[in-house]
Amino acid sequence: MERLASFSSDPFDKPPCRGCSSYLTEPYVKCAECGPPPFLLCLQCFTRGFEYKKHQSDHTYEIMTSDFPVLDPNWTAQEEMSLLEAVMDCGFGNWQDVANQMCTKSKEECEKHYMKHFINNPLFASTLLNLKQAEEAQQHETAIPFHSADDPPRPAFDSLLSRDMAGYMPARADFVEEFDNYAEWDLRDIDFVEDDSDILHALKIAVVDIYHSRLKERQRRKKIIRDHGLINLRKFQILERRYPKEVQDLYETMRRFARILGPVEHDKFIESHALEFELRREIKRLQEYRAAGITNFCSARTYDHLKKSRDEERLKRTMLSEVLQYIQDSSACQQWLSRQGTCPILGMPTASRRSAPPLNLTGLPGTEKLNEKEKELCQMVRLVPGAYLEYKAALVNECNKQGGLRLAQARALIKIDVNKTRKIYDFLIREGYITKA
């Protein structure tokens, strides 16, 4: 007798018992001498010695079951098959859903077993993957280091960070709304039938080909975003700001060519230009020292300190000379002070314009929903009640999600004047509508 794997975990996928025509459940018996098709019997018919046509009760037989270990003594073959099917249905990484579908193993057991026997098992290692790793190990290190993008964060759905990432779902490597998101709509009414004419069949094939090209473009764009680390936009912007202003302008100009060069080549190109800029600036500084007759770095530090002092004195003399030019004409002097914003002699700010009068809320929609303090705030910042209520609801909801709210988050959430945002933010904290993070 041998113990063999079953046809499938679903009893409805197996042929019925030849004796009683019932659905087979493991274990069951297969005649080793009859067939094809296989002659299968349930245990009840086998114990009764069921015989049919050429099949005799003394034929050799095999017991069909999957209740035996394959890779792990604590995992049966049936559980191995169920694990693979659950991972295929729920997706890699969703171990809680995989465990719920299996019903016999916990989340930790499913993850540990799958990673040990199907991911890190050297018997299943791909030859192509080994060749690729060997090729990468042979590559020589370049003068400019390059670090690939880290795994993107996994924020809560509909949070501020999730909106900054354009709804990217790291566990699925998909966006909530993909590029050309409604491309599938063109295929929903297409049905290939036998009585289609040649022209109609060719037209349907052409529509499918167009859909495939749109899918390729969607994947190409996602690959560019993923390879260049553009998903975490805030981190990308922080890395970009570490360059000098001139290199940032070049970075902005060359960004459109990043899809052609690839991530490594593009970063090497930008880094090389940043290095060239630093070298040119250093060479210019050394040339200035040489022209001034400086031959050592100790004298160079003294020269830089004196040069900075001279520049500050020159700026003060320039401002004073401008004041003396306009001092005889009061209107011209007032215009010059307005352009400067502060008085250079007294150091006091000058009023360049009159402040706007408070906003009249009479008859404006939403005024009846405000209390007296909120009405006073809307009048002071000149904000209509409807807009204030909308901004208030957005800030309160975000505060409830995050457990607190910072001023920078409030400014990113409502795109209005930063001074108005600060006043609204302080008012809501003072009145207890939101809390500071």
Report CA torsion sign: 175, 177, 179, 180. Answer: positive
Question: Which two structure tokens, joined as six digits, stand for 399?
Answer: 């505060």
Task: Round to whole Å and give the CA distance between 377 and 358.
Answer: 10
Task: Round to whole Å and give the CA distance between 217 and 223.
Answer: 10
* Residue 101 reports pLDDT greater than 60: yes
* Residue 137 reports pLDDT greater than 60: no
pLDDT at position 49 is: 83
**Higher per-residue pLDDT: 259 or 299:** 299
Mean pLDDT of the chain: 77
* Residues shown for the chain: 437
CA 371-373-378 angle, 5° bins: 95
Question: Which two structure tokens, joined as six digits, stand for 120?
Answer: 């890190």
pLDDT at position 283 is: 92
The share of the chain scoring above pLDDT 90, in percent, equals 0
The whole-number average pLDDT for the span 402-424 is: 84
Lowest model confidence (mean pLDDT) among 248-262, 279-293, 389-403: 248-262
C-alpha distances in angstroms, 185 versus 174, 188, 248? 19, 5, 41
**Higher per-residue pLDDT: 330 or 39:** 39
pLDDT tens, position by position, 63-85 = 777 777 777 888 888 888 888 88
* Residue 328 reports pLDDT greater than 50: yes
* Residue 125 reports pLDDT greater than 60: no
pLDDT tens, position by position, 191-243 = 888 888 889 888 888 988 888 888 888 888 888 777 777 776 666 677 777 77
**Number of other residues whose CB lies within 10 A of the CB of residue 66:** 21
44-53, 115-124, 320-329, range with greatest mean pLDDT: 44-53
Q: Are 60 and 47 in contact (CB under 8 A)?
A: no
pLDDT tens, position by position, 253-286 = 777 777 787 778 888 888 888 888 888 888 998 9
Task: Round to whole Å and give the CA distance between 223 and 229.
Answer: 10
pLDDT at position 345 is: 44
Q: Are 330 and 320 in contact (CB under 8 A)?
A: no
**Which residues, 6 or more positions from 272, have their beta carbon under 8 angstroms from its beta carbon?**
144
Partner residues linked to 4 by β-bridges: 64
**Higher per-residue pLDDT: 16 or 2:** 16
pLDDT tens, position by position, 341-375 = 544 444 444 444 556 778 888 778 888 888 888 88
Task: Round to whole Å and give the CA distance between 276 and 397.
Answer: 48
* Residue 435 reports pLDDT greater than 80: yes
pLDDT tens, position by position, 169-186 = 766 667 777 888 888 888
